[in-house]
Amino acid sequence: MAPVQVKKICCIGAGYVGGPTCAVIALKCPHIQVTIVDLNQARVDAWNSPDFNLPIYEPGLEDVVRQARGRNLFFSTDVDKGIREADLIFVSVNTPTKKSGVGAGFAADLNYVESATRRIAAVATSPKIVVEKSTVPCRTAESMRTILEANSKDGVRFDILSNPEFLAEGTAIADLFSPDRVLIGSLQSQEGKDACAALASVYANWVPRERILTVGLWSSELSKLAANAMLAQRISSVNALSAICEATGANIDEVAHAVGFDSRIGPKFLRASVGFGGSCFQKDILNLVYLSESLHLPQVAEYWRQVVEMNEYQKKRFSKTVVDTLFNTITGKHIAVLGFAFKADTGDTRESASITLIRDFLLERAYVTVYDPKVEEDQMWMDLAEALPSMPLEQIKKQVTIVHSALDACKQKEAIVIATEWKEFKEIDWEAVYAQMSKPAFVFDGRMILDEAKLKKIGFTVKVIGRGDRL
């Protein structure tokens, strides 16, 4: 049996992974029809919007969609049609951390993966290559295969592949155009290898063959968790060192720069901050904790759990610094928070440190004004309501104001907190801001993006994470 020549692809899930990934596949493979399906009508309508007001913000994404949409890239709510017509199906649905039941707080909720798999089995009438694209626990493919084989019509054949994404939000399109590697896992049977070769041939339209890694199915699934865990571990490690720097008078920027020169370590992911966020790092580490506990490896589980605990400690430490610096109380005080997304160049707020900071400020009965260039107001209210379940939304809205410029956010405030490293925050007219602030005026830089000396010269009291005051 020769590898299938892929002519039609269906992606189930039009979110942060499925949308950009399959849009780039469509752009790079004009001979392949790519249909992205989702049950969320509003999301599909946004992808199809005439003015390209796409449901997610990612630099370069609009240009990709403009070139491919209507040519060989389509967005639809007709999931069944997409499944029936496709040779290859990406399953790219949400896999959030479970909130209840066995493994709550750690294990991945695979409800959406199971629903999508059952739909494929119920609808498919011809052989399909089914590809895990969502981040999933190790051996999820085995469960998917069991569901497909038990529910398929007339013995339709399914081959399961694992093809985890390694995108960084904010650079996803660049990552897709020139990936470090494309990882494809398959069963090591001839059929599995043929399915693997079929998907590899799709990526080979623009990715050099030496960057397309083919491995076993379980190794592929675990590699995704391992990569995110190792990256998050570096962030938590440098953040732990930032606390020591503040206590001793050292400068974490200088320490990280010196450490990064070691060729065995390298400079990436050694930038201190108020804490990592996003859809993957915390979820994947907790998943690894749960897997370790399930395998009766408590010491391994505790090791990885500490990475997440260090991240939470960093956020609490930063909010405490704000309170301590503002004369040990922020009750009734007005604070500007610049940035609500978990990082720059994305509108994603999942696990954003900003949410934790604002929650802490509100519990101290402070008034907060928020600005972010890409996060919608509705998303902010929803995130804050979830973070403060015991506080009525009406009360939250009494303490929080959302504005549409950084300058508006900073007017008449006692303190400014930089929570996301948006480029525009570096370019603020700080002298104009200082003139309109209550004195003494404070700036708390949780992302290490501002010119500390310049701000101090203007008259601000500046606190930068990871920099001590002693000489």
Residues involved in catalysis: 280
Looking at residue 450, its amino acid is L
Helix ranges (H only) for 326-451 are 353-363, 377-387, 393-399, 406-410, 430-436
Residue 92's nearest CA partner among 82, 102, 100 is: 82
Task: Please compute Rg for the chain using Cα positions.
Answer: 24
Q: How far, in Å, CA of 321 to CA of 328, rounded?
A: 9
Write the DSSP assignment of 311-326 as a string of letters: HHHHHHHHHHHHHHHT
Q: How far, in Å, CA of 113 to CA of 135, rounded?
A: 10
Q: CB within 8 A of 146, min separation 6: which ones?
A: none
Q: How far, in Å, CA of 382 to CA of 387, rounded?
A: 9
Looking at residue 290, its amino acid is Y
Tokens of 434: 């200082």
Q: How far, in Å, CA of 169 to CA of 273, rounded?
A: 17
Assess whether the previous peptide bond of 3 is cis (omega < 30° from 0). Answer: no
Q: Are 461 and 440 in contact (CB under 8 A)?
A: yes
H helix and E strand count, the chain: 18, 14
- The residue whose two tokens read 């904010």 is 170
Residue 304's nearest CA partner among 131, 43, 106 is: 106
Q: Sign of torsion, CA 335 339 342 343?
A: negative
Q: How far, in Å, CA of 268 to CA of 270, rounded?
A: 5
Q: How many residues does the chain have?
A: 471
Q: How far, in Å, CA of 73 to CA of 65, rounded?
A: 8
Other C-beta atoms lying within 10 Å of the C-beta of residue 389: 7
Q: Sign of torsion, CA 452 455 459 462?
A: negative
Write the DSSP assignment of 39-55 as a string of letters: S-HHHHHHHT-TT---S
In angstroms, what CA-CA distances link 354 with 84, 165, 223, 299?
43, 26, 29, 31
HSE, side-chain direction, 13 A CA sphere, residue 365: 4
